[in-house]
Amino acid sequence: MTTRTIFTTILSAVALTATADNLRIATPNTELLLSGEQGRQLNFVYYGHRLSTADEQALEAVETKTDAYPAYGMFELTERAIAATHCDGNQTLRLTYSGSSQTQDGGATTTIVTLRDEYYPFTVKLCYKTYTDADVIEQWAEISHTEKKAVLLRQYASGYLPILRGNVWLTQFGPNENNDEFDLATERLIGGMRVIKNLDGIRNTRTCNPDVMFSLDGEPQENSGRVIAATLCYSGPYKVRIDTEKDSYHHFFSGINEENATYTLQPKEIFRTPVLAYTYSTEGQGGASRNFHRWARSHSLAHGHQLRNTLLNSWEGVGLDTYEPVMKQMMDDAAGLGLEQFVMDDGWFGNACPRNDTSTGLGDWYPNPQKLPSGVGALTDYARQKGLKFGIWIEPEMVNTQSELYRAHPDWIVKAPHREMIYGRGHTQAVLDLSKPEVQDHVFGVVDRLMTDNPDIAYMKWDCNTAIQNQGSEYSLAGRQPHLYIEYHRGLAKVLDRVRAKYPDLTIQLCAGGGGRVNYGLLKYFDGFWTSDNTDAYQRVFIQYGASYFYPAVAMAAHVSAAPNGSTGRQVPLKYRIDVAMSGRMGFELQPKHMTDEDKATSRRAIADYKSIREVVQQGDLYRLVSPFKATGQASLMYVSPDKSRAAWFWYMTEFRRGQHYARVPLTGLARDKRYRVRELNPSANAPLAIDGQVFGGGYLIDNGLPIPDNFRVYQSAGGFASRVVALEEVK
């Protein structure tokens, strides 16, 4: 596709003032409106639903204008998007509008608005990318200068949005420590500063996520009210600031966390910030999520439109005991259950330092001859015979000091000079310094060698289990220490670019001790993420619900594990465990050898059922119906195909009290004028739904939902873990 510059200056149909350029950054249903006058501050005018020309014209009278990218130094001091120290020591910036351009590339339009300091040769280009098929704006900044010596960037937000004050509520997610990813919290924004941040170094959603939603019309609603949702597409330390002082706005900034990453910018070097992606919806938080999901599947998730395989992963079943006969037995069982893929997790590698516990082996990515005497190839061959795809676990950014790699390259790890090392997992794990080109080659080589030796590997689980705990890099000494965090992620992106260039079809799962690294900076390279190491189905109802605000089900791994659960000890019946896994990318994570024949038969039927709704779950529109976080005793969600002819409805009891009656769940998302046949999936043996096979009008279901028997006898046997999965199909 050729790139074409179509404007040097954008003049919209109606300029807000006679001399100003009216800059319209539009998606199919939304628009951001800026106004730029040569030599003056660039103004933010409006962000919201797409406007008519007449509306745009009327804005002059109703909208106050405010700085579109506030810089430090002039006017009263408040939070700023950018702060820099010039080569002569001057700490101030005064950025003024100096023109704009727009280019088109296929369905994508990039608008570049140039700001220049009125005295220093210092330039900020604000870049906005939009698509004809997604209501998300991607924004980033490109900062450069031609001063005589380096300039110090002290702050450099990817984007800034002023949000008019009123009854505005913030929804945020995390922190994710202790196997409780995507915990959802919501609060009304009041005065002062809200900061959501990370400093981990490499697993940036180990703390809270940089995903935020602003509900502009009071307490968040699922299907109504105006919502702005935003996330930083970055895998390193970030900082989200929401500052509310004495003017009319909540000032929202998002970008790299500068606390340990001030950046020395050389003359002519271009510093490109990560992308801030945001959307606007008038259909509540549900509408904002659907906008993000559609954008992700089309533009920010590897193979977003491909259906994902069901799989068995070895980790919770056998831990590090990945012996060839065990792997083959698991593959026999996986094939017998009707699963489509097998993933050999941690434990398979290391020779001189075999991976028999978590303190050894990372770095030595060749098969342990004791465990896999015939190599990985024998397993990929076996998988092929069984009709399975084969996947393998790696943690290529890491090394244990007990490894051949560390012995050969002790200087490859992230380590501040003159300081004693602090190690991570297994008390020997260190992070490889990806700011070093030879380390980048090594990490790419891990994938490349495995794929060259075993071309049948179809899937990799790419893990990351330790934070940077030694805040420095011997490599980037000489005044560039704070660059480590930025250079690390640049290095990682370079490696992943090479991996994707050479292995475009490989499926790669993003993992960091569960969901410690779920962000759209990385997901463009990855097919999905391991949502949490917590596979307790009850808690997964919450975790997956929280994850769904920004991330689509096609990317969200949800595995059926053994009971009692390894993380929580909870004893959850198999039906509930399966029903929770069916609402994401379904898999199993247990030793099938230990399943009863009855459980295997149930699982086999459920896997077949899942395949019948997989397309709706993985590619459909999500409607969240009842939030588990609202503590009403139940949770519910549904996926609907874009033409609304098919749907999959999920219902989970989250609190059981004898004698409780649960409110019927309106099946929002269906089409009022269609008729749907109801088919229960994975029915419970003692109480299948009596309405199975019946046909209902969409209007009836939207208003009344379906009756779910809630008498004591039905649920006693399940210890209160009741759940239902229902497929709905249009009847013409």
Active-site residue set: 463, 533
Nearest approach in angstroms of CB 557 to ligand GLA is: 9
Distance of CA 727 to the CA centre of its chain: 27
Tell me whether residue 130 or residue 465 sits nearer to ligand GLA (CB atom).
465
Burial environment of residue 682 by CB neighbours within 10 A (0 to 12, 13 to 18, 19 or more): buried
Return the axis-axis angle of helices 597-619 and 574-581, rounded to nearest 10°. Answer: 20
The whole-angstrom separation of Cα 697 and Cα 731 is 10
Nearest approach in angstroms of CB 465 to ligand GLA is: 5
Tell me whether residue 531 or residue 627 sits nearer to ligand GLA (CB atom).
531
Strands (E), 118-191: 122-131, 134-145, 151-164, 169-173, 184-188
Largest distance between two CA atoms of the chain: 80
Span from 6-14, 407-415, 430-438, 506-514 in contact with ligand GLA (CB under 6 A): 506-514
The whole-angstrom separation of Cα 5 and Cα 138 is 19
Q: How many CB atoms lie within 10 A of CB 213?
A: 26
Tell me whether residue 134 or residue 543 sits nearer to ligand GLA (CB atom).
543
Span from 148-156, 169-177, 188-196, 511-519 in contact with ligand GLA (CB under 6 A): 511-519
670: phi > 0 → left, psi -120 to 50 → alpha, else beta; which? beta
Tell me whether residue 48 or residue 367 sits nearer to ligand GLA (CB atom).
367
Span from 372-380, 508-516, 540-548, 695-703 in contact with ligand GLA (CB under 6 A): 508-516
How many residues contact ligand GLA, by CB under 6 A?
11
Q: Backbone phi, then psi, for 582, in 5-degree steps?
A: -65, -15
The whole-angstrom separation of Cα 581 and Cα 254 is 33
The three-class DSSP label of residue 115 is strand
Residue 514 as a binder of ligand GLA (CB under 6 A): the answer is yes
Tell me whether residue 201 or residue 317 sits nearer to ligand GLA (CB atom).
317
Tell me whether residue 318 or residue 511 sits nearer to ligand GLA (CB atom).
511
When binding is defined by CB under 6 A, the residue of 147, 200, 258, 345 that contacts ligand GLA is 345
Tell me whether residue 30 or residue 314 sits nearer to ligand GLA (CB atom).
314
Residue 368 as a binder of ligand GLA (CB under 6 A): the answer is no
Tell me whether residue 513 or residue 592 sits nearer to ligand GLA (CB atom).
513
Span from 332-340, 510-518, 686-694, 712-720 in contact with ligand GLA (CB under 6 A): 510-518
**CB distance 724 to 680 below 8 Å:** yes
* First-residue to last-residue Cα distance in the chain: 42
Tell me whether residue 73 or residue 319 sits nearer to ligand GLA (CB atom).
319
Nearest approach in angstroms of CB 514 to ligand GLA is: 5
Nearest approach in angstroms of CB 318 to ligand GLA is: 11
Residue 511 as a binder of ligand GLA (CB under 6 A): the answer is yes
Q: Tokens 């950014």 map to which residue?
A: 397
Tell me whether residue 26 or residue 511 sits nearer to ligand GLA (CB atom).
511
The whole-angstrom separation of Cα 673 and Cα 677 is 14
Nearest approach in angstroms of CB 315 to ligand GLA is: 4
The CA radius of gyration of the chain, in Å to the nearest whole number, is 27
Nearest approach in angstroms of CB 551 to ligand GLA is: 17
Residue 533 as a binder of ligand GLA (CB under 6 A): the answer is yes
Q: Backbone phi, then psi, for 185, in 5-degree steps?
A: -135, 145
DSSP string, 473-541: -STT-TT-GGGHHHHHHHHHHHHHHHHHHH-TT-EEEE-BTTBTT--HHHHTT-SEEE--S---HHHHH
Tell me whether residue 99 or residue 566 sits nearer to ligand GLA (CB atom).
566
**CB distance 156 to 256 below 8 Å:** yes
Nearest approach in angstroms of CB 415 to ligand GLA is: 23
**CB distance 533 to 169 below 8 Å:** no
Written as one letter, the residue type at 73 is G
Nearest approach in angstroms of CB 174 to ligand GLA is: 16
Using CB atoms, what's the residue nearest to ligand GLA? 346
**What are the residues facing 263 on neighbouring strands?**
153
**What are the residues facing 402 on neighbouring strands?**
360
Span from 31-39, 507-515, 615-623, 635-643 in contact with ligand GLA (CB under 6 A): 507-515
The whole-angstrom separation of Cα 434 and Cα 495 is 9
The whole-angstrom separation of Cα 387 and Cα 441 is 34
Residue 346 as a binder of ligand GLA (CB under 6 A): the answer is yes
Residue 513 as a binder of ligand GLA (CB under 6 A): the answer is yes
Nearest approach in angstroms of CB 336 to ligand GLA is: 23
When binding is defined by CB under 6 A, the residue of 530, 576, 588, 639 that contacts ligand GLA is 530
Nearest approach in angstroms of CB 282 to ligand GLA is: 38
Residue 67 as a binder of ligand GLA (CB under 6 A): the answer is no
Nearest approach in angstroms of CB 44 to ligand GLA is: 41
Site string for ligand GLA, 441-480 (x = CB under 6 A): ----------------------x-x---------------
When binding is defined by CB under 6 A, the residue of 156, 292, 348, 393 that contacts ligand GLA is 393
**CB distance 213 to 229 below 8 Å:** yes
Q: How many CB atoms lie within 10 A of CB 475?
A: 20
Q: Which two tokens stand for residue 305?
A: 């439109």
Nearest approach in angstroms of CB 176 to ligand GLA is: 12
Interacting positions 184-203 with ligand GLA (CB under 6 A)? none
Tell me whether residue 131 or residue 393 sits nearer to ligand GLA (CB atom).
393
**What torsion, rounded to 10 degrees, do the Cα atoms 147, 150, 156, 162 define?**
-20
DSSP string, 553-572: GGGEEEEEE-SS-TTT----
530: phi > 0 → left, psi -120 to 50 → alpha, else beta; which? beta
To which H or E segment does residue 292 belong? helix 284-295
Q: Convert 179-200 to b/e letters by CB count within 10 Å (16 or more is b).
A: bbbbbbeeeebeeeebebebbb
Query: How far, in Å, are 534, 540, 542, 662, 719 from residue 654 at the CA level?
Result: 17, 11, 9, 11, 11
Tell me whether residue 31 or residue 463 sits nearer to ligand GLA (CB atom).
463
Interacting positions 296-315 with ligand GLA (CB under 6 A)? 315
Sequence-separated (6 or more) residues with CB below 8 Å from residue 156: 81, 82, 141, 143, 255, 256, 258, 263, 271, 273
Interface residue list for ligand GLA (CB under 6 A): 315, 345-346, 393, 463, 465, 511, 513-514, 530, 533
